[in-house]
Chain A
C-alpha cells in the first residue's frame, strides 16, 4: 500500500475540513431561502383575501328623503350589513343620474367590513341577529365575494371596506419623480466632477469622506433636515411630495454618487488617453466616450437608490407624509402619503380588515420594487458595452 507516491496522510483531514466548510455554506443558503420563502408565503397568504370583497344584493330606494338621510335608502335590518361608505355615495349617484330619483333598484352593494370578515371566516364581531341575516342572504345567493377593484381605485379610508392604496401609489410616484429629477442629475454631475475633473487635494478628499459618511446617516435625520430646511425655512407645504421628494433626494444622492463614481472609475483610462491623443476636449471625452460606457452602471446604481428611497418611511414621517390622505394628490404641492407610510398606518389600525390590506400593500410595494430591479438588470444588459 505504501508504494503510492501520492500518499499524504494529512489530506483526509483537510478534505473533511473542506467538506464541512461547504456544508456550512449550504446550511446558510437553506436558512436564507427558508426565511425568504416563509416571508413571501405568509404575505401572499395574508394578502390573498384582500383581493376579494363581499357584496350584498339589496333593494335601494332613491327618494328625496334617502338622499338626505342615506340610511333610509335600505331596509333597517340591513343597516349593519351594507357599507356605510357605500350609502354615503347615494347623493352623488343621484346627482350623476337624476333619473334614479323616485325609483327602487335591486342592486349589488358593498358590504360592511364585519360581514366581509365573516364571509372570509375571519374573526368578526357580528351579533347573532346579523349573522342570521347574512346566513339568510347566503342561502338566497344574495351575497357574494367579488374581485376587489376598490383596493386599487380608492384612497385611504377610515371605513375598512372602502380603503384602497391608490392615493399612496400616486403619492409614491410623485415623490419619486421629484426625488429622481433632483438626485439623478445632481448625483451624476457630482460624480463626474469628482472622478474626471477634481484634483486630488485636501478639499476633494474632505468632500469624498463626507459623501461616503452621508450614505451611512440614519434616514430619520434626513427627515429632520427636510423639516427644518424645506418646511420651516423655505416654507414649502408639509406632507407634500415636493418636500418628501427633496428629502429623499438628499438621502439618495450619496448612493447615486458612490455608484456613479464606481461606474466611471471602471471605464478604462486608455479611452480617455485615446481621446486626448486626438485633440479632444475633456467635455468631448467625458460626454461621448466615458459616460456612455459608464451609463449602465450609473443607471443600475440610481435605480437601486430609487428602490431604497421608495421603501423609506422614517424621514417621511417627520415631514408629515404619514397623514390620513383619502384623495390622491393632484400636484406635488398637495398633501400626500406614500406606500410604506400607508402600510405603516394600516398596520396600526385596530380593525381586522386592515390586516389583509396591510399585507396586500406590502405585496404591491414588493412588486414595484421587483419591477424596478428587473428594469435595472434589463438596462444593464441592454446598454452594456462589451470589450
Chain B
C-alpha cells in the first residue's frame, strides 16, 4: 500500500507485545490516516484490542505486559523514554466497550478531566466546554435540562455518548474506540455510528469492532488481525469486495469468527 506522508497520523513499526511468555502481537506494521476511521477486525483473541491499547499505552497498566517496537504519533515514538504515558493518553482519547461514566453528574463527567489538565477554568469557560462537547456527541438536546443529574441515570446509548463527549472535551487528536456499540441496541448503535462519521472531521478514529457491517458502513480503512498478526490492511472497500488474503476472505464471508 502506498503511503502519503502528509496524511499519516500514526505509524506502528515492528510492534511486538508479550503477556508474560505469551506473544499477543507479532511484528505489527500499520499506518493510520488522519481524519479517517480505521476499523480493526478479527476474531476474539486476535490482538486487535491489545493493539488498540498500545496506541495510548494503556497496556503499561498491566504489569506483565512487555512492548517492543515503535508507535509513532506525529513523528514522535510514544514509547520513547522521554514521553510520559499520561500525556499520551491526553492526546489519544479512549471510549470503552461498556459505557463507564464517572459516578458524578453529567456536567462533572465532561468537565472533570479538562479541569485537571488546566484546559479550562471553573465557571463560564467550563459551561461552554460542556455545551460544545455534549453537542459534538449529539447529546446536548437530551440532557441540557438535567446537567446535574448523575451520568449513570442516562440510558446505555446516552451513557456511551456521554463517554464520547467526555473524551472529546479533552480535545485529543486520536480517539480509540474499543467495540463502542457492542453493549448497545441497534438504534443507539446507529446514532453512535453517525456520530463517529461526524467526528472524523476533527479526530482520527481507530475502532475495534466485531460487527462486519459496522466496519463496512463507517470505516475508511480496515485492518484484519489474525492470531496476533496484521494479515491484511487496505481501504474498506478493497477488504470487503476483493480481499487479497484467503483468511480475510473466509472471515468476512462468515466461515469463522
The listed residue (B89, B163, B176) touching A279 by CB distance below 8 A is: B89
Chain B 93-110, CB-CB to A under 8 Å as 1, else 0, gives 111101011111000000
Q: Are A278 and B166 in contact (CB under 8 A)?
A: yes
Chain B min CB distance to A163 (Å): 52
Q: A199-B63, A279-B170, A386-B152 are in contact. Are A270 and B98 (CB under 8 A)?
A: yes
Chain A min CB distance to B101 (Å): 7
Q: Are B112 and A288 in contact (CB under 8 A)?
A: yes
| CB contacts between A and B, total, < 8 Å | 69
Q: Are B101 and A292 in contact (CB under 8 A)?
A: no
The reply to whether the CB of A280 lies closer than 8 angstroms to some CB of chain B is yes
Query: Which residues between 283 and 321 of chain A lie within 8 Å of chain B, taking CB atoms?
Result: 284, 288-289, 292-293
Chain A min CB distance to B175 (Å): 10
Chain B 109-121, CB-CB to A under 8 Å as 1, else 0, gives 0001100110000
Q: Are A273 and B96 in contact (CB under 8 A)?
A: yes
Q: A277-B94, A278-B113, A278-B170 are in contact. Are A289 and B100 (CB under 8 A)?
A: no
Q: Which residue of B lies closest to A283 (CB)?
A: B116
Chain B min CB distance to A75 (Å): 75
Q: Which residue of A lies closest to B112 (CB)?
A: A288
The reply to whether the CB of A193 lies closer than 8 angstroms to some CB of chain B is no
Say whether chain A's binding surface is mostly helix, strand, loop, or mixed.
helix
Chain A min CB distance to B97 (Å): 9
Q: Which residue of A lies closest to B101 (CB)?
A: A274
Q: Are A279 and B96 in contact (CB under 8 A)?
A: no
Q: Are A277 and B102 in contact (CB under 8 A)?
A: no
Chain A interface residue count, Cβ-Cβ cutoff 8 angstroms: 22
Give the residues in chain A near B166, CB-CB below 8 Å.
274, 278
A275 to B104 CA separation, bound complex (whole angstroms)? 13
Q: Are B56 and A277 in contact (CB under 8 A)?
A: yes
A386 to B91 CA separation, bound complex (whole angstroms)? 31
Q: Which residue of B lies closest to A270 (CB)?
A: B100
A130 to B90 CA separation, bound complex (whole angstroms)? 89
Give the residues in chain B near A275, CB-CB below 8 Å.
102, 113
The reply to whether the CB of A268 lies closer than 8 angstroms to some CB of chain B is yes
The reply to whether the CB of B69 lies closer than 8 angstroms to some CB of chain A is no
Q: Are B90 and A278 in contact (CB under 8 A)?
A: yes
Q: Which residue of B lies closest to A201 (CB)?
A: B63
The listed residue (B88, B100, B116, B163) touching A280 by CB distance below 8 A is: B116
Give the residues in chain B near A386, CB-CB below 8 Å.
150, 152
A255 to B90 CA separation, bound complex (whole angstroms)? 38
Chain A min CB distance to B70 (Å): 21
Q: A276-B58, A279-B170 are in contact. Are A385 and B113 (CB under 8 A)?
A: no
Chain A 196-233, CB-CB to B under 8 Å as 1, else 0, gives 00011000000000000000000000000000000000
A288 to B167 CA separation, bound complex (whole angstroms)? 18
Q: Which residue of B lies closest to A200 (CB)?
A: B63
The reply to whether the CB of A387 lies closer than 8 angstroms to some CB of chain B is yes
Q: Are A277 and B93 in contact (CB under 8 A)?
A: yes
Chain B min CB distance to A287 (Å): 11
Give the residues in chain B near A288, CB-CB below 8 Å.
112
The reply to whether the CB of A271 lies closer than 8 angstroms to some CB of chain B is yes
The reply to whether the CB of B187 lies closer than 8 angstroms to some CB of chain A is no
Give the residues in chain A near B167, CB-CB below 8 Å.
277-278
Q: Which residue of B lies closest to A284 (CB)?
A: B116
Q: A289-B103, A387-B103 are in contact. Are A270 and B170 (CB under 8 A)?
A: no
Chain B min CB distance to A286 (Å): 13
Q: Are B103 and A292 in contact (CB under 8 A)?
A: yes
Q: Are A279 and B87 in contact (CB under 8 A)?
A: yes
A115 to B87 CA separation, bound complex (whole angstroms)? 81
Q: A199-B63, A284-B116 are in contact. Are A277 and B89 (CB under 8 A)?
A: yes
Q: Which residue of A lies closest to B117 (CB)?
A: A279
Chain A min CB distance to B78 (Å): 12
A166 to B152 CA separation, bound complex (whole angstroms)? 49
The reply to whether the CB of A281 lies closer than 8 angstroms to some CB of chain B is yes
12 contacts between A and B (CB under 8 A): A199-B63, A270-B96, A271-B100, A273-B100, A274-B100, A276-B61, A278-B93, A278-B94, A278-B167, A279-B117, A281-B86, A289-B104
Known: A200-B63, A274-B96, A279-B89. 14 other contacts (CB 8 A): A268-B100, A270-B100, A275-B113, A276-B89, A277-B89, A277-B94, A277-B176, A278-B93, A278-B112, A279-B86, A279-B90, A279-B113, A280-B113, A281-B86
Chain B residues packing against A (C-beta within 8 Å): 56, 58, 61, 63, 86-91, 93-96, 98, 100-104, 112-113, 116-117, 150, 152, 163, 166-167, 170, 176
| Closest 9 pairs between A and B when the two form their complex, measured CB to CB | A279-B90, A277-B94, A270-B100, A278-B113, A279-B89, A385-B103, A274-B100, A284-B116, A293-B103
